[in-house]
Amino acid sequence: MSGRLIDFLLRLAPRERVLLGLLVIVLLVVGIGYGAVWPLAEERRAAREELLQSLAVDAWVLERREELAGLDQAASTVEIQDPVGASAVEQGLINRQLRSSLSRLETRDGGEIAMRFDVVPFTQFMRWLDTEHPVWGYRIEQLRIERTDRPSMVEARLTLVPAR
């Protein structure tokens, strides 16, 4: 095989050998470009997209923090009521057709109420929380919302403690 290649190259004119060498060099550079540089460029593009997404989430969190500061100021002007109890909270869930989504309702020492929703429509849950929360006489100690496989459905955990 190498003998044939040498014979082929010897039959070529010096100018043709130079052109063939340049062609081989160009092919090597292009091959290295596709083999090494292209994957690096793809990784850089993916990292840039991830950075932009992280910055968007960060901006969203800062906006929510500003909203929360406004809500805290508004909440401080609201008159604190006596806690309504777990049955009244549950009645609010029934009124909003969310009782079937409630997987656990537990009362603890000190009047604390813990609730868990395994799968609940996000908008319906947030509307219920927004309208019912001010009249409960409780403050939200813990609220955890996680998305599920299903669109617009979330898993939620909520812990309420008496406001007084």
Tens of pLDDT, residues 33-87: 888 888 888 999 999 999 999 998 898 888 888 888 777 665 555 555 666 778 8
The confidence score (pLDDT) of residue 81 equals 63
Rounded distance, CA 79 to CA 112, Å? 20
- Say what the pTM is: 0.50
CA–CA gap between residue 112 and residue 106 (Å, rounded): 8
Q: What's residue 47's pLDDT? A: 95
